[in-house]
């Protein structure tokens, strides 16, 4: 039989954990058209600057449907990619993203490299991260925050699987749901994530397709989703 004081403590802990629950969405940057236009058409990326942004907001809508209209969303965005693409297109993309964050009542955190991304994740309260989603370029070994933005077909900012040990596993809830919507994550990084953080990371075995976001659907995978 649970003593009243212990029962009160358990109820208080449950309420506290519910109150701390957060949903983290990480958004990488787009490539520049000046580089992508040099590729053959079928190999070009990011004709639309907002592929990753729109996919992120679709996920926010899904989160609010599943967890409640006031579910806290923390939106971590790689700013340099949208500044440089904005200059190329003559559009204030960073300003627009700030406005989108306000519309979706998301706590916007700008980052400029992988180290700042780790700091942003580690800044979350203990046990608070209930869901984690990454939208952006990736390969089997890392999230590529930048790809083809400074140099054609090259990443200059990333979170590599070798760096996952720097992330505090304590910020994630025990049953947190984590997913990468980038290409090929399930081929290596998902296993490294599980070893380092202790919870699964669902990822793509194959390439992902962001054309679906134009139809209001989250990205699809050419192969399969694996954990």
Q: Which two tokens stand for residue 80?
A: 């340099």
pTM of the entire predicted model: 0.91
- Helix (H) or strand (E) run with residue 169 in it: none
209 C-beta neighbours (distance < 10 Å), count: 13
Q: Is the pLDDT of residue 12 over 90?
A: no
User: In this predicted structure, what is the pLDDT of residue 9?
Assistant: 44
Q: Among the listed ranges 14-23, 68-77, 96-105, 109-118, which one has the minimum average pLDDT value?
A: 14-23
Residue 97 CA to residue 214 CA, distance in Å, equals 18
186: Cα separation from own chain's centroid: 15
Q: Which CATH fold topology does 19-226 show?
A: Rossmann fold (3.40.50)
Supply the pLDDT for residue 44: 84
Beta-bridge partner residues of 158: 144
Residues 74-114 pLDDT 10s: 999 999 999 999 999 999 999 999 999 999 999 999 999 99
Residues 34-62 have a mean pLDDT of 92
Q: How far apart are CA 51 and CA 56, in angstroms?
A: 9
């Amino acid at each position: 039989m649970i003593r009243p004081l212990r029962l009160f403590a358990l109820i208080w802990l449950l309420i506290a954990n519910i109150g701390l629950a957060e949903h983290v969405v990480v958004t990488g940057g787009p490539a520049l058209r000046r580089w992508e236009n040099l590729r053959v058409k079928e190999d070009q990326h990011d004709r639309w600057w907002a592929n990753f942004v729109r996919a992120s907001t679709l996920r926010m809508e899904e989160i609010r449907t599943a967890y409640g209209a006031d579910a806290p969303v923390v939106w971590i965005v790689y700013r340099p990619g949208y500044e440089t693409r904005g200059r190329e297109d003559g559009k204030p993309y960073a300003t627009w993203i700030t406005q989108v964050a306000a519309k979706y009542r998301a706590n916007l955190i700008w980052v400029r490299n992988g180290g700042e991304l780790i700091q942003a994740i580690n800044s979350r309260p203990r046990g608070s991260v209930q869901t984690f989603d990454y939208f952006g370029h990736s390969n089997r070994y890392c999230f590529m925050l930048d790809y083809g933005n400074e140099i054609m077909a090259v990443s200059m900012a990333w979170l590599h699987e070798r760096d996952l040990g720097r992330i505090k596993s304590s910020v994630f809830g025990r049953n947190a749901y984590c997913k990468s919507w980038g290409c090929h994550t399930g081929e290596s990084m998902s296993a490294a994530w599980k070893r380092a953080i202790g919870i699964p990371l669902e990822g793509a075995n194959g390439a992902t397709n962001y054309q679906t976001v134009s139809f209001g659907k989250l990205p699809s995978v050419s192969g399969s989703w694996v954990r």
